[in-house]
Structure 1
Amino acid sequence: MRFQKLDLNLLVALDALLRERSISRAAEHMHLSQSAMSSALARLRAYFDDDLLISVGRKLELTSRAEVLKEAVRDVLMRVDTSIATAPEFDPSESDRKFQLAVSDYTAATLIPHLLALAEKQSRAVRFDLIPVPGRPQRALESGDADLMVISRPYALPDHPTETLYQEEVCCVVCSDSRFARAGELTLEQYEAAGHVAVQPPAMDRPSLENWFKERYVKARHIEVTTFSFVSAPYLVMGTERIAIMHARLAQLARKSLPVTLFALPTPTPHLEQVQQWHRHRTRDPGLIWVRGLLHEAVLRMDAEPDQGPTA
C-alpha cells in the first residue's frame, strides 16, 4: 500500500532502523535478511532524500532528519496498532495474548504473584513477560517493548496516563543478631552512625530510594554496600550491624524466611506511591484495561492478610 508515493510497509522498517541504529539488528527484529533491510534503507533514503543513518566510527548515528522522523513514525505506528490492529473486545478465556510488564524485582516479588493467580482463574492461555524497568521508561512504552509499567510515582512519565495502585511505607531491616535487634530499638543517632545497604536499580537516572532519603531526611549516612536488587537487601545485612531501608511489604515477606528484625524509620517520612502507567494511545486497549483492573484486584488480594508491621 502506498501513500504519497511511499510504500507504507517501509514505515515499519524505518521504525526498526531508527530504534536499533543497526541494519543487522533491525533485520533480525523484522525477521528479514540483512540484504532486504539494506534495500529498504536505500529506498527510504531515496524517498526522504536524506541518509537517515550515517556511519560514525563503527556505529550508525541518526541524521537530524531521522531524529525528527523517529518520534513521528513511532507515533503513527502506535496509533495504527491501537486503533486498527487491536481487537475491539478482549475475552481472556479465548485469548493467548502476551502482555509485557516492566516491573522492579520488588513488584515481581510482592504484587505480581497475586496478579498471576487472579489471571489464571480467567485464562490459562494469557501470558505475561516480566521485563526490568528500563533506564528510559518513555522509550519502552513508545517502542512497544512494554505494554504497561508498575513504577514509583517519581519515575512516572508526564506524557502518559497513570493510575495509583497503592501507598507503600518504608522501614529499616536489621539482622536479628545485631545490637539493634537485641536492644529492641533503633534511635536516630544509631541510625545515622550505622553502616547501610543501599539499593540502586540498574540504569535508573533518578536518585535511588536510599539517596532519596539521604537528600531529604537524614544527613549522616554511611553507605557501605550497594546492590541493584531490592529483594537482595535483607540478605546483605545478615551477620552484620548494617541497616537496609526497604519497602515494608517486601520486608515483611523477607521476615518470613530470614532472621531479620524490622524497625520503623526513626524519622518521619512520606509514603511511597506505586502507580501503573501505559502509553496514551493504548488507554482504550481492551486487553490492557483487563490487566489494569486485575492489578487493582491484586493489590486487594496482596493486602487481604496484613502481616505485622515494623517495630514502633
Structure 2
Amino acid sequence: MRFNKLDLNLLVALDALLTERNISRAGQRIHLSQPATSNALARLRDYFQDELLIPHGRQLLLSSRAQELIAPVREILMRIDSTIATQPQFDPTDTMRKFVLLMSDFSAAVFVPALIERLYNEAPGICLDLRLLNERPLEQLEENEVDLLIIPSQYVSEHHPSTPLFQEVYMCVTWESNTRIQNELSFDDYVESGHVAGSYSVNNTKAPAFDSWFLERFGVKRRVEVSAPTLSALPQMVIGTNRIATVHRRIALQAAKTLPVRLWTPPIDIPTMIQTLQWHKHRDTDPALQWLRQQALKVGGAI
C-alpha cells in the first residue's frame, strides 16, 4: 500500500532502523534478511532524499532528518496497532495473549503472586513476561516493548495514563544482636548508624527517592554503607552488623518470619509509597489491556 508515493510497509522498517541504528539488528527485529533491510533503507533514503543513517566507522549515526522522524513514525505505528490491529472484543477465557510487565523486585514479590493466581483462574491462556525495572522503563513503554509499568508515583510520565495500584509504608530492620539499637530506635541512632539501601536507576534518576527526600526534609544525609540493586533482600544484609535497612512494610514482616532481625517504626514520618500502574496512551482502549488493568487493580486493592 502506498500513501503519497511512500510504501507504508517501509514505516515498520524505518522504525526498526531508527531504533536499532544497525541494519542486522533492525532486520532481526522485523524478521527481514540483512539484504532486504538494506534495500528498505535504500528506498527510504530515496524517498526522503536524505541519508537517514550515516556510516561513521563501524557505527550508523542518525541524520537530523532521521532524528526528527523518530517520534512521528512511532506515533503512527502505535496508532495503527491500537486502532486497527487490536481486536474489538476480548474473551479472557479464550485468549493466548502474552503481556510484558516491568516492575521492581518488591512488586514482583508482594503483588505478582496474587495477580498470577487470579489470571490462572480467570484467563488460563494468558502468559506474563515479568521484567525487572531498568534505566529506561518509559522508553520501553514508548517503544511498545512493555504493556504495563508498575513504578512509584514519582516516576510516572505525564504523557501517558496511569492509576494508583497499591500503597506501602516503611519499617526499619536491624539485626537482633545489634549492639547499638536494643530497646528503641531514636532519630540520633538512625542518623548515626550505617545504612543498607536499595539503589537502581529509573529514567536516569537514581532511586529510591527516599534519600533525596530525607536530605531535603532533615538537612542530613544518610550514611549508606551498602548499596544493592534489590529491595526484597535488604533485611538479610544487616545481619551480623549494626546497620539499618529502611524497607517496605511487607518486606520487613516477611523477613521477620525467617531471619534473626528486629523491626522498628521509623523515628521519622516517611511519606507513603504509592505504586502506580502505567500504560501507553494509544493502548488505552485495547480491550485485553483494559481487562488486565482491571484485574491488576482488583488485586492491588486487596493486598
8 A contact 1:114–1:298 mirrored in 2: yes
Match of 1:140 in 2: 140
Letter in 1 for 2:103: V
Q: Deviations over 1:44-75 (max 9, x none)?
A: 11111111111233322211111111110100
8 A contact 2:211–2:221 mirrored in 1: no
Q: How does 1:39-58 map to 2 (within 5 A)?
A: 39-58=39-58
The CA distance in 1 between the partners of 2:217 and 2:267, in whole Å, is 10
SS in structure 1 at match of 2:157? coil
Match of 1:231 in 2: 232
TM-score when normalising by structure 2: 0.95
8 A contact 1:93–1:123 mirrored in 2: yes
Match of 1:308 in 2: none
Match of 1:278 in 2: 279
8 A contact 1:173–1:245 mirrored in 2: yes
8 A contact 2:193–2:223 mirrored in 1: yes
The CA distance in 2 between the partners of 1:253 and 1:286, in whole Å, is 36
Residue 287 of structure 1 and its aligned partner are, at CA, apart by 0.9
8 A contact 1:217–1:267 mirrored in 2: no
Structure 1: segments with no counterpart, 5+ residues: 303-312
The CA distance in 2 between the partners of 1:177 and 1:55, in whole Å, is 62
The CA distance in 1 between the partners of 2:180 and 2:94, in whole Å, is 54
The CA distance in 2 between the partners of 1:130 and 1:139, in whole Å, is 17
Match of 1:176 in 2: 176
Identity level (%):
43
Residue 85 of structure 1 and its aligned partner are, at CA, apart by 0.4
Residue 213 of structure 1 and its aligned partner are, at CA, apart by 3.8
Q: Deviations over 1:171-219 (max 9, x none)?
A: 21112222356x2311000111101012111465224224234323341
Residue 134 of structure 1 and its aligned partner are, at CA, apart by 3.3
Letter in 1 for 2:193: A
Letter in 2 for 1:245: T
User: After TM superposition, which residue ranges in structure 1, 4 or more long, deviate above 4 angstroms?
Assistant: none
Structure 2: segments with no counterpart, 5+ residues: none
Report the count of equivalent residues: 301
SS in structure 2 at match of 1:50? coil
CA pair 220-102 structure 1, distance change in 2 beyond 3 A: closer
Q: Deviations over 1:244-288 (max 9, x none)?
A: 111112222222232222212111122111110001111111111
SS in structure 1 at match of 2:18? helix
Query: In the alignment, is residue 23 of structure 1 matched against residue 14 of structure 2?
Result: no
Q: How does 1:172-251 map to 2 (within 5 A)?
A: 172-179=172-179, 183-202=182-201, 204-209=203-208, 210-218=210-218, 219-251=220-252
Letter in 2 for 1:101: L
Match of 1:120 in 2: 120
Match of 1:33 in 2: 33
SS in structure 2 at match of 1:173? strand
8 A contact 2:51–2:63 mirrored in 1: yes
Identify the range of structure 1 (200-209 vs 20-29) with the bigger mean alpha-carbon deviation.
Answer: 200-209
8 A contact 1:101–1:149 mirrored in 2: yes
The CA distance in 1 between the partners of 2:33 and 2:283, in whole Å, is 31
The CA distance in 1 between the partners of 2:247 and 2:237, in whole Å, is 12
SS in structure 1 at match of 2:100? strand
Letter in 2 for 1:206: T
The CA distance in 2 between the partners of 1:175 and 1:283, in whole Å, is 46
Residue 156 of structure 1 and its aligned partner are, at CA, apart by 0.3
8 A contact 1:134–1:203 mirrored in 2: yes
> RMSD of the alignment, in Å?
1.5
Q: Deviations over 1:111-134 (max 9, x none)?
A: 011110110111221000112223
